[in-house]
Amino acid sequence: GQQLNQSPQSMFIQEGEDVSMNCTSSSIFNTWLWYKQDPGEGPVLLIALYKAGELTSNGRLTAQFGITRKDSFLNISASIPSDVGIYFCAGQPQGAQKLVFGQGTRLTINP
Amino acid sequence: SAVISQKPSRDICQRGTSLTIQCQVDSQVTMMFWYRQQPGQSLTLIATANQGSEATYESGFVIDKFPISRPNLTFSTLTVSNMSPEDSSIYLCSATGPPRNEQFFGPGTRLTVL
């Protein structure tokens, strides 16, 4: 089946540093989404990308839909303590409404 | 964005029993889905809840174990049947709707089976 490879699995950074994570797949996706999940909560949608090459920002977050439609990255600039959590990429396959999720990136920030 | 609520938020159940989880959306949505998230893992799609008809299950999930109902556009239930400790997970409801069919999630139901 379709799989998303998300990396890195975990990150330990200092407050104020920039963060970058990405997802790749052997399959083409029509839509890429990035979610953040805090402990005990459901995933919260951060950014949605709909077209190959699209670059979208949401505050300190920037994400891009890869030109091949098989990858996406998420950058967080000037990290703050509330950025701590697990970040998931998700892709929507062609012709489907369901999502395929990456394995997640656990972000830890040292103050 | 749609606001999704789930009940119960958590439960501790005995082996062999069944639990029904409810999902309510505050606006009309196109699609509703049920996911499972095992401890420390990513989300895995169980099934797509279809209004007025049988759900569409993903590989590895069957209706006898996870019966799903969706009687109207904004409400769905997932039952975890004949539970075993391996069913201990977070169960998440999600929905897509206009204008861009982005998928939003409920807060999840944390299930522990003893």
N-terminal to C-terminal alpha carbon distance within chain B = 36
Q: Is the peptide bond before A93 cis (omega within 30 degrees of 0)?
A: no
Q: Which residues of chain B make contact with A104, given a CB cutoff of 8 A? A: 42
Length of chain B: 114
Question: Is A101 within 8 Å of B59 when comparing Cβ atoms?
Answer: no
**pLDDT value, residue B97:** 83
Q: Is the minimum CB–CB distance between A35 and chain B shorter than 8 Å?
A: yes
CA distance B97 to A111: 39
**pLDDT value, residue A77:** 97
DSSP secondary structure letter of residue B16: T
Q: How many helices (H) and strands (E) does chain B have?
A: 0, 11
Beta-carbon neighbour count of residue B79 at 10 Å?
A: 15
Mean of pLDDT values over B49-54: 90
Question: Is A102 within 8 Å of B42 when comparing Cβ atoms?
Answer: yes
**pLDDT value, residue B30:** 86
pLDDT in tens, A11-37: 999 999 999 999 999 999 999 999 999
Beta-carbon neighbour count of residue B8 at 10 Å?
A: 12
pLDDT in tens, A39-70: 999 999 999 999 999 999 999 999 999 999 99
Minimal C-alpha gap between A99 and chain B (Å): 8
Q: Is the peptide bond before B107 cis (omega within 30 degrees of 0)?
A: no
Residue A5's closest chain B neighbor by CA?
Answer: B42
Return the SS3 of A43.
coil
pLDDT(A95) > 90: no
Mean of pLDDT values over A87-98: 91
Which one-letter amino acid corresponds to residue A44?
Answer: V
Mean of pLDDT values over B40-56: 94
Portion of chain B with pLDDT greater than 90, in percent? 85
pLDDT(A2) > 80: no
Residue B3's closest chain A neighbor by CA?
Answer: A44
pLDDT(B85) > 70: yes
Sort residue A30 into left (φ over 0), alpha (ψ -120 to 50) or beta. alpha
| Nearest CA among A6, A10, A21 for reference residue B43 | A6
**pLDDT value, residue B71:** 94
Confidence of residue B29 (pLDDT cuts 50, 70, 90): confident
